[in-house]
Amino acid sequence: MSLFPLLSALGAAEAQAEKLKVVTTLPDLEWVVGFIGGDLVEVESLLSGAQDPHKIEPKPSLMAKLSDADLYVEIGLGLELWSGNLIEGARNANIQVGEKGHLYASDGITLLEKPAVATRESGDMHPYGNPHIWLDPLNMLTVGDNVYGALVALDSANTETYDANKKVYEAALYEAMFGPELVKLLGGDVLVRMERKGELLSFLEKKEYKGAPLLEKLGGWMGKAQPLVGKEVVFYHQSWIYFIDRFGLVASAYVEEKPGVAPSAAQKERLVDLIHSKSIPVIAMTSYYDDSIPAKLAKETGATLVFIPNSIGGTKEATDYFKTIDAIIDALVAH
């Protein structure tokens, strides 16, 4: 699905003006900015989907990309620990934390796996809660709100264009999430509210439309992911809690003992026993991690090792956000 909106006729004249230069940390954030900003922005991601966002070296070449940026967008929550050094090295007053040119895309999102006390004890990479918020499509609605607000704050003259593009963005996510038929019947915003409250599936099971349960009208990712509800999977890194929480999977275990901490011999033994005892069919991981241990676990237990994209560009199929979520669901349903 290619849904980057064209500028409206009203916005076309303003497009002749100098574009806002936006730099993002992740390609998923680049995609959101490009969708809502349209032809009014020039946007670039510092990372590709084949890179671990936890482990980036703040090189001068990256600092140079930020030196003349109007807006810098990062997830925050400790995901990009290298970001502070980049901002400092860029010597760009506009993108300092607290300025209009800096955005934490995760603002306003309900965090999962948030510890009582923030700590990096034993190398834990998630001291403030899980930062992989973009893997829940409903969180991307909030990210869109945040990006829209930042663009309007910097370029209020084009508010009408940003607003129109945001509406297209939201409509596209609604249909991708629930399917066009159900969105047409109930409205995307209503479906989102019910799903966030955990009430959507029970509502659709109880209500009928033309003599059949409304659940039969559920399409999109929610419909396609129904075989995943309750399915047990072993994941490598704790990247997936937002996806798991939204689509109803069960993370039986993680290969890493803590985020960023390699498994001990005892942990490997526990995993083998667990996979055997529960007949867990899948070990899932992202390609930028070392697959030697998961591959050995798969060979020893008979589970299938599946590579899934954590971000746009993480696999050859994941060419935009829609196709990224498609690729994750398809891979997990297939095994």
Task: Give the separation between CA 135 and CA 202, rounded to whole angstroms.
Answer: 23
Measured in degrees and rounded to the nearest 5, phi and psi for residue 72 equal -120, 125
Say if pTM beats, i.e. exceeds, 0.75.
Answer: yes
Asked if 228 contacts 276 with a C-beta cutoff of 8 angstroms, the reply is no
Task: Give the separation between CA 180 and CA 305, rounded to whole angstroms.
Answer: 33
134-152 mean pLDDT: 99
Task: Give the separation between CA 176 and CA 3, rounded to whole angstroms.
Answer: 11
**What's the DSSP call for residue 17?**
S
234-257 mean pLDDT: 94
Task: Give the separation between CA 8 and CA 200, rounded to whole angstroms.
Answer: 35
Asked if 229 contacts 236 with a C-beta cutoff of 8 angstroms, the reply is no
Q: How far is CA 228 from CA 30, 69, 281, 328, in A?
A: 29, 41, 12, 11
Measured in degrees and rounded to the nearest 5, phi and psi for residue 169 equal -60, -50
pLDDT tens digits for 8-35?
444 544 445 689 999 999 999 999 999 9
pLDDT tens digits for 147-175?
999 999 999 999 999 999 999 999 999 99
Task: Give the separation between CA 228 and CA 250, rounded to whole angstroms.
Answer: 9
Does residue 115 or residue 195 have the better pLDDT? 195
**Fold of the domain spanning 224-333:** Rossmann fold (3.40.50)
Q: How far is CA 40 from CA 16, 19, 35, 37, 157, in A?
A: 9, 5, 10, 5, 11
In the chain, list all ranges with CATH 3.40.50.1980: 16-162, 224-333
Candidates 135, 134, 140, 191; CA nearest to 169 is 140
* Band (40; pLDDT cuts 50, 70, 90): very high
pLDDT tens digits for 82-94?
999 999 999 999 9
Task: Give the pLDDT score at 246.
Answer: 98
Return the CATH architecture of domain 16-162. 3-Layer(aba) Sandwich (3.40)
209-214 mean pLDDT: 91
Listing from the earlier edge strand, what are the strands of the sheet with 20-24?
A: 41-45, 20-24, 71-74, 102-104
- Asked whether residue 76 carries a pLDDT value surpassing 90, the answer given is yes
- Asked whether residue 2 carries a pLDDT value surpassing 60, the answer given is no
